[in-house]
Amino acid sequence: RRVTAPGAVLRGRRDGWGPLYFRAMTATVTLNGKSLTVDQVVAVARRGARVEISEEATERATQSRAALERDLARGDVIYGVNTGFGRLANVLIPPDDLSRLQRNLIVSHVAGVGDPLPADMVRAIMLLRSNVLLKETSGVRPALADRLARMLNAGIHPVIPEQGSVGASGDLSSLAHLAYALIGEGEVDVAPTESGSAVVSRRVAAEQALRAAGIEPITLEAKEGLSFINGTQAQSGILALLVHDSATLWRAAHAAAAMSLEALLGTPVPFDERIHGVRPHPGQQESAALMRELLTDSEIRESHRTGDDRVQDAYSLRCIPQILGTVRDAMRYADGIIAIELNAATDNPLVFGPDVLSGGNFHGQPVAMALDVLTISLTTLAGLAERRLDRMLNPDCSQGLPPFLANEPGLQSGLMMLQVTAAALVAESRTLCTPASVQSIPTDGNQEDVVPMGMAAAFKCRRVMENARAVVAAELLAAAEALEFRKPLRPGRGAARALGLVRDCVAVRDQDRPITPDVERLAAAIREGVFA
């Protein structure tokens, strides 16, 4: 089974598995500022779908720009358009310096530090920024959105450091690094191309990459620099990908849970529809239904229906719907936030026909809180998986399975270290659950006195997502080995199907061998949706 999309290879880094190069799909995503979805973000960010700009959106943006230019010609004073920024808003800028004002804004805000964001996240940010600039409230030329779309189609990705944004007045630093490339300055990564069997990547000067692709660097005009960096598109682009990944991981976690329950000779009675009908949380009902589906027609279940003196299973088996259902509801909250944010007007000031209004839609509090909630829910999911993993390896809890699932316990250590690794990842994730969205530190001379720290929330959530995916992969690996010891009895249909998918990725462990490659292969398969 292929666990990568055609035309993509997996990067061997835990901080961002993803496509190293892109081939255009037949699919095309058309931006209009109104209808962008998470699935479309994933298609562009990871699958190489092409991007086009709708003619209707282009016309709306052109009319909005004309209205703003009429206001300027009339001599109106508009924040950030012909004034300074933040504490310097009372400084009036002469008409001849308006373009220079916008360029100065961009270059002065290129202040990020840390490792560059992975290519898929940069692409998501570019797509969201292009979509928002098409809204009639932005008052910028449609050429800005068009240039970003052309860069995406050419595989040109600005280098955006992952740290340096507090998420208020937008993701200023992150988006400034993006705009810096758009004006032909700084460096970009050009999507690697296949050269025989090798994958060749390049980092080049932005101007060189743009001109090689036939894209003219843009000269920013009045308001355009400010509109470009006022917005939540950095944290929102990351949230969009994490929302998608969390839904994929949630289903994989159920596959692992069903396999573990079968391996531990657990009972499916706690998933009875009647139990969950009297506590009708949506996620709980969805989780219980999925478990029933996965466990249907189990020979293992029939083998211990009678003669088993246990009254109840441990919580990690019995309470799967109550726990993973709550996780699902939390994920739905994040999903609802990003569905709105993808098409929201988040720059400043906003153009409403003849009125140009200054407000605070750039504040990232909704996104930052959603990221924090998602971090907590993913940590909960990982912690539950680790508990079942431990039960399968611990001879005191494993219902007769060999210690650590070793074929020759003592001579072999089996999967002893798998639980150690999972415990380390869960512990780290728990330390990252302190919300970033309450950690405000005033900035800009106390003008921006309450900030949401959205990119810090994204930074933590990214790490926890990788941790949780690895822990679920570890549970899948252990459950598959445990089910080998239950043969010739077969688990439920869905659990058997999941076991087959595990075996497509990793072979039976009949002797000790390195564990890391198996976990990484399964984590990659989870990310690619194999278990969804």
**Which entry of 79, 180, 315, 333 is annotated as an active-site residue?**
79
DSSP 276-288: HHTS--HHHHHHH
Q: How far is CA 260 from CA 70, 104, 396, 446, in A?
A: 67, 58, 16, 53
Buried b (16+ CB within 10 A) or exposed e, 387-419: bbbbbbbeeeebbebbbbbbbeeeebebbbebb
Nearest to 263 by CA among 317, 227, 334, 331: 317
Instruction: Tell the burial category of 274 from Cβ atoms under 10 Å away from its Cβ (0-12, 13-18, 19+).
Output: exposed
Instruction: Tell the burial category of 326 from Cβ atoms under 10 Å away from its Cβ (0-12, 13-18, 19+).
Output: middle
| Amino acid, single-letter form, for residue 149 | A
- Cβ proximity of 232 and 454 under 8 Å: yes
Name the one residue in this structure whose structure tokens are 């001879």: 395
Confirm whether 21 is a catalytic residue: no
Q: How far is CA 434 from CA 265, 376, 379, 440, in A?
A: 36, 9, 11, 13
- Helices 172-182 and 119-133: crossing angle in degrees, nearest 10, is 80
Q: To which H or E segment does residue 294 belong?
A: helix 282-295
| Integer Cα distance of 434 and 351 in angstroms | 38
- Cβ proximity of 368 and 436 under 8 Å: yes
DSSP 215-233: -PPPPP-TTHHHHHHSSSH
The H-assigned helical ranges of 342-409 are: 365-393
Helix (H, G, I), strand (E, B) or coil at 19: strand
The H-assigned helical ranges of 319-364 are: 320-341
- Cβ proximity of 288 and 275 under 8 Å: yes
Nearest to 122 by CA among 41, 216, 203, 35: 41
The length of the chain is 532
- Joined together, the tokens standing for residue 87 give 């504490």
| Integer Cα distance of 357 and 378 in angstroms | 39
DSSP 232-243: SHHHHHHHHHHH
Report, in angstroms and rounded to the nearest whole number, the Rg of the chain calculated over CA atoms: 26
Q: How many CB atoms lie within 10 A of CB 384?
A: 25
Residues involved in catalysis: 79
